[in-house]
Amino acid sequence: MTMIFELRTYTAAEGRLDVLHATFRNHILGFFKQHGMTSVGYFAPQDTPLSSNTLIYVISHESREAAKKNWDEFRADPEWQKVAADSQKNGPIVTKVESVFADATDYSPLK
């Protein structure tokens, strides 16, 4: 089965990168799995300025249609909505989200 990959880059609000990492570490990975998203990798940039405010990750889906369904179900999940509200009680943790869908090349070890 061919998977599609989604590369996502989150820019954290000032001083909130630790909260973003904790939310992923403690909650989001489980929700992703529950909603059909496969975690491929999570990355913290080494160099400034990105090291102070950026999380980059790759997940995979069965198709673009599945990705839409997965995200819609994730966002509608009442348990996720509670976690999201709790994580933002002191203000937003993310100021910008970028998403790029990609196919693995024929020479990629990830297919």
Q: Express each pLDDT in 17-50 by its tens digit.
A: 999 999 999 999 999 999 999 999 999 999 999 9
Q: Express each pLDDT in 56-108 by its tens digit.
A: 999 999 999 999 999 999 999 999 999 999 999 999 999 999 999 999 999 98
Q: Which tokens is 20 given?
A: 């973003």
Q: Which tokens is 1 given?
A: 């089965």
Alpha carbon of residue 69 to chain centroid: 15
Q: Express each pLDDT in 95-104 by its tens digit.
A: 999 999 999 9
**pTM of the complete model:** 0.93
How many residues would you count in the chain?
111
